[in-house]
């Protein structure tokens, strides 16, 4: 019917036997299981990364272990069944190392990371411009930050982590441990986010800022342009369709082409997004690199 994978899509499978059955069926159909890894017993009620900021602000944290425990379990089950598993939105150093070891052991695992986990730290929930990749520039965004103590647009699951996690994720990309960059695009209504932090929905509308936010990694020499383009195009295409012409520039292949200016500066204005979701922590940031 054209199905390319099966996913729990943010509602993790807590029962190990059910996950084993899913992997068994995925193996029979030669299709991957796309896995949101979260132990909800550990993460339940959490709002941001468990660490310095959550302790300082007295906010319920989501520990890295909540993600890593499920990654470890599903890598073990993938090895047991011989099935393909794809780990979605990796966010911690521990997960990168688990995936690295699994690949070395021959487990059929691929993984992705999001633009926001590569560029923003846990501090961003404070409405601060403490961002690894880009800088805030507009007066409008500074005024918006003063209206609320927290920026609900930076509330995402898994949560934004630390500078050390970002370094590990970038290294994992360059070394091929992480195969792809995916936006985890999660548009929400104004009401979903315009509320107190604990009630706000998780998710970032990330499609329209993906390239611009990531290009700063290229401009700073942390990743080369060829690697970035590959991780956004042909490598994710291979994960969902090994025999497809998607993600190639072959004659006769689908013309899924993006033209961009790597040096073009622009200021993010969520009001001009094509997406109905305007929920972005990059609103008002000046980015360099624009889809034309």
So which residues are the catalytic ones? 184
Task: Give the C-alpha separation, 132 to 26, whole Å.
Answer: 38
Q: Which alpha helices (DSSP H) does the chain contain, by range? A: 16-29, 40-43, 52-57, 64-81, 93-104, 115-119, 139-146, 163-174, 190-193, 210-219, 225-232, 234-240
Angle value at C-alpha 17, between 2 and 50, nearest 5 degrees: 90
Find the helix or strand (DSSP H, E) in which 143 lies.
Answer: helix 139-146
> What's the Cα-to-Cα distance from 134 to each of 21, 47, 116, 213, 231, rounded to whole Å?
43, 24, 11, 7, 20
Round to the nearest angstrom and report the end-to-end CA distance of the chain. Answer: 34
Task: Give the C-alpha separation, 275 to 261, whole Å.
Answer: 21
């Amino acid at each position: 019917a054209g199905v390319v994978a099966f996913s729990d899509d943010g509602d993790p499978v807590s029962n190990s036997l059910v996950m084993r059955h899913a992997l068994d069926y995925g193996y029979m159909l030669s299709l991957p299981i796309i896995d949101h890894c979260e132990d909800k017993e550990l993460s339940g009620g959490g709002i941001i990364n468990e660490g310095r900021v959550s302790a300082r602000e007295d906010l319920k944290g989501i520990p890295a272990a909540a993600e890593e425990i499920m990654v470890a379990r599903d890598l073990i089950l993938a090895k047991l069944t011989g099935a393909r598993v794809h780990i979605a939105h990796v966010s911690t150093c521990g997960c990168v190392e688990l995936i690295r070891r699994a690949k070395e052991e021959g487990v059929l695992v691929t993984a992705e990371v999001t633009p926001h986990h590569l560029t923003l730290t846990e501090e961003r929930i404070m409405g601060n411009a403490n961002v690894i990749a880009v800088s805030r520039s507009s007066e409008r965004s500074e005024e918006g930050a003063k209206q609320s103590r927290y920026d609900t647009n930076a509330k995402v699951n898994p949560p934004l982590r630390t500078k050390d996690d970002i370094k590990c994720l970038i290294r994992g990309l360059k070394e091929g441990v992480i195969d792809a960059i995916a936006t985890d695009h999660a548009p929400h209504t104004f009401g979903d986010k315009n509320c107190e932090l604990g009630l706000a929905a998780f998710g970032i509308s990330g499609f329209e800022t993906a390239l611009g936010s990531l290009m700063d990694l290229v401009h700073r020499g942390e990743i080369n342009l060829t690697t970035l383009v590959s991780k956004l195009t042909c490598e994710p295409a291979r994960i969902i369709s090994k025999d497809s012409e998607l993600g190639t520039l072959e004659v006769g292949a689908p013309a899924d082409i993006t033209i961009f200016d790597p040096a073009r500066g622009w200021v993010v204005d969520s009001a001009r997004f094509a997406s109905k979701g305007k929920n972005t922590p990059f609103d008002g940031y000046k980015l360099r690199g624009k889809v034309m």
